[in-house]
């Protein structure tokens, strides 16, 4: 493993930087996938890819944005691959959903699920921008680095994502009341 690094100090630098951002990377991957296992797999794959290509990382640049970009790229590649596969239904999840009708607080869970579904319906660029801004609390500049686009595009995507979510929530509220 040491062969990937210029020196032992470089290896320690990678490990320290990665450990400092693992929670954020996992949270970001989870919000992209909405699945714990997939998020863990993506973070593990991103860690491995970061490790393998750390020799190309420029010291002094934004490590967190670099790793977020790797996570995002892995997600996009996996999403494209899955979109070509036929739809699969998990029997256990369907069975659990059907048996939830007597669950106390079901309405709250349903609203949360509806919110997640609404987020999931946003185009990937809008959803990712929204999550990086509100969940990961990245500034526009860092989001632009992760998304590989100008800051103006980040601001535009945030505006469009907010408008879409607002419309979806208004429709939901009107439907419920």
Q: How far apart are the C-alpha atoms of 74 and 77, rounded to whole Å?
A: 5
Residue 94, pLDDT above cutoff 60: no
CATH number at residue 170: 1.10.10.10
Shared domain check, 121 and 82: no
Sign of CA dihedral 155, 130, 78, 83: negative
Domain membership flag for residue 94 = no
Q: How far apart are the C-alpha atoms of 133 and 173, rounded to whole Å?
A: 25
* Mean pLDDT in residue range 126-130: 88
Shared domain check, 123 and 176: yes
Query: What's the structural domain count of the chain?
Result: 2
Domain membership flag for residue 19 = yes
Domain that holds residue 43: 1-88
pLDDT tier at 22 (50, 70, 90 boundaries)? very high
- Could you report the per-residue pLDDT of 156-173, keeping only the tens digit for each? 999 998 888 888 877 776
Q: How far apart are the C-alpha atoms of 132 and 24, rounded to whole Å?
A: 10
> pTM value?
0.56
Domain membership flag for residue 38 = yes
pLDDT tier at 83 (50, 70, 90 boundaries)? low
113 vs 13, 34, 83, 119, 120, CA distance in Å?
Answer: 39, 11, 22, 10, 10
């Amino acid at each position: 493993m040491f062969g990937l690094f210029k020196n032992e100090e470089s290896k320690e630098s990678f490990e320290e930087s990665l450990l400092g951002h693992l929670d954020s990377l996992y949270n970001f991957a989870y919000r992209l996938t909405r699945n714990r296992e997939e998020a863990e797999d993506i973070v593990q794959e991103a860690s491995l890819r970061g490790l393998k290509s750390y020799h190309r990382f420029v010291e002094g640049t934004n490590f967190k944005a670099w790793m977020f970009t790797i996570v995002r790229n892995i997600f996009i590649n996996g999403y494209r691959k899955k979109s070509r596969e036929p739809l699969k239904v998990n029997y256990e999840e369907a069975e659990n959903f059907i048996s939830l009708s007597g669950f106390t607080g079901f309405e709250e869970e349903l609203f949360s699920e509806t919110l997640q579904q609404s987020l999931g319906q946003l185009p990937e660029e809008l959803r990712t921008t929204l999550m990086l801004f509100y969940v990961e609390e990245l500034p526009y500049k860092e989001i632009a680095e992760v998304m590989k686009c100008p800051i103006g595009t980040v601001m535009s995507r945030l505006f469009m994502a907010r408008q879409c979510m607002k419309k979806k929530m208004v429709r939901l509220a009107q439907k419920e009341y």
